[in-house]
Amino acid sequence: MTSIVVHHLEYSRSTRILWLLEELGQSFELQVHKRDRNFRAPRELRDLHPLGKAPLVAVDGVVFAESGAIIEELLERFDDGTLRPEDADGRRLFRYWLHFAEGSLMAPLLVRLITSQLHGPKVPFLVRPVGRAVSKQIDAAYTTAELERLFAFVEAHLGEHAYFAGEQFSAADIQMSYGIEAGLERAGLSFPTPNLRAWLERVRSRPAYDKAIALGGPVAPADGH
């Protein structure tokens, strides 16, 4: 019997791996790691992998890192064809969106997170005007336009397809979920996103998603850190 241990960091992208394993019907051991006071991953994750980032998954003692690589490894081992399209067009879309999530989408979302913190409640009151001015310059020069372009692209794709790889739910939807949720909350988009919101409602209605949240906790803290 295969041994699977998931090292899950609270309030993080590693929820996607819990969700995937629930979809695959695989039993696993869950080890939850708490963030430190600076909202960083704890140092003990470095004992498992030099970069100390979650998610980390040990399969029969072999540790795998990076969400996309973990997803591909788990699918190759356990998927019976339900979470990866079999046809050529579906497989092409699946591969693209699996890597788009962490490639194109995540960088501007992280910048937006940083700029929002520059004038947040943790910044001393007297410094906040400076932080606000800097964040506005960064967002105006890069973040806002880039996020608008990316999310318009995603919205258009979901206007033509029920799911990211076509008409079938796949692991690409799981991989895209974190960025979509974060973007709808933080990107400040200037246009409506009915296709994105309908897709999000569909994937959140899956029993495996509920199980993942019950096991790992919410994707983000209540204060929207």
pTM score of the predicted model: 0.90
66 shares its domain with 117: no
Contact (Cβ atoms closer than 8 angstroms) between residue 71 and residue 98: yes
Examine residue 157 and state whether it is found in any structural domain, yes or no: yes
- Which residue range forms the structural domain that includes residue 159? 88-206
CATH assignment of the domain containing 195: 1.20.1050.10
135 shares its domain with 69: no
CATH assignment of the domain containing 34: 3.40.30.10
From first to last of the 225 residues of the chain, give the pLDDT tens digit.
899 999 998 888 899 999 999 999 999 999 998 888 777 788 888 989 999 898 999 999 999 999 999 999 999 999 998 999 999 999 999 999 999 999 999 999 988 888 877 666 666 665 577 667 767 788 777 888 899 999 999 999 999 999 999 999 999 999 999 999 988 988 888 999 999 999 999 999 999 999 999 999 887 765 555
Domain count of the fold of the chain:
2
Contact (Cβ atoms closer than 8 angstroms) between residue 79 and residue 172: no
23 shares its domain with 99: no
164 shares its domain with 66: no
